[in-house]
Homo-oligomer: A and B are copies of this chain.
């Protein structure tokens, strides 16, 4: 069987049944578990399914369920702490770029009160959250809507940013290593990478669990990062490597 055909069947199985186990898939498609794992990783990189331990699921348990957005302020304490540290450094009158993600979303309710703030985003979720704060001037970068993440991507998104002058960007990430931050979904990360290449100061918000993990697409190299905000669970050696690369590391 062709590899592409196998991946197609595999995706179909996951979608049809909601969940699938590596062992079961290996047996059904008559290939080794290693191959199944590689296939699942590839499909995840394309954002077509969610990898989990032991298999994969069509829909993640995570907060990005389109059904129950339950956004706006209902961030976990951990994310709120990171967000709080990030917001501290924002000056009145600043123009900031905030990309999509649950960690960066936690910043929104904390932005209230910063004077003459302009927030630029390519995330629909962020934009909707921001709409509640009349004093915050909000700019949405247009683009093709990626349904699952509610983010806007592509040529239009990039073109819109060209028109703007952004002081600082705040981003989440799928993973962070001494090489830099990386994303899980190819097209989303690609747009993120482009957006960040236009911004001088980049602050990444990553909890400790993201360290040492690397997604398929690099979003920004370490030397491009201005600041990394993380929590106490981040491994010291990784933090040292970042510091050596000139990154300002903040632990909360």
Contact = CB atoms under 8 A, between A and B. Distances in A.
A20 to B, nearest CB: 8
Interface stretch (A67-75, A91-99, A182-190): A67-75
A160 B156 contact: yes
* Contact size range, A: 35 or more
Interface in A1-53: 2-5, 7-8, 11, 18-19, 21, 43-48, 50, 52-53
Interface in A90-148: 102, 124, 127-128, 130-134, 137-145, 147
Nearest to A139: B144
A119 to B, nearest CB: 9
A109 to B, nearest CB: 12
Interface string A152-164: 1001110110010
Given A2-B55, A62-B72, A139-B144, 19 more contacts: A2-B19, A2-B57, A3-B54, A4-B53, A5-B19, A8-B57, A43-B61, A44-B76, A48-B61, A66-B131, A67-B128, A124-B124, A124-B127, A124-B140, A130-B145, A131-B145, A138-B144, A138-B147, A140-B145
20 contacts: A2-B21, A2-B55, A3-B54, A4-B53, A4-B57, A45-B78, A46-B61, A46-B102, A48-B61, A48-B70, A124-B127, A132-B147, A138-B144, A140-B143, A141-B142, A141-B156, A142-B156, A142-B157, A142-B160, A156-B160
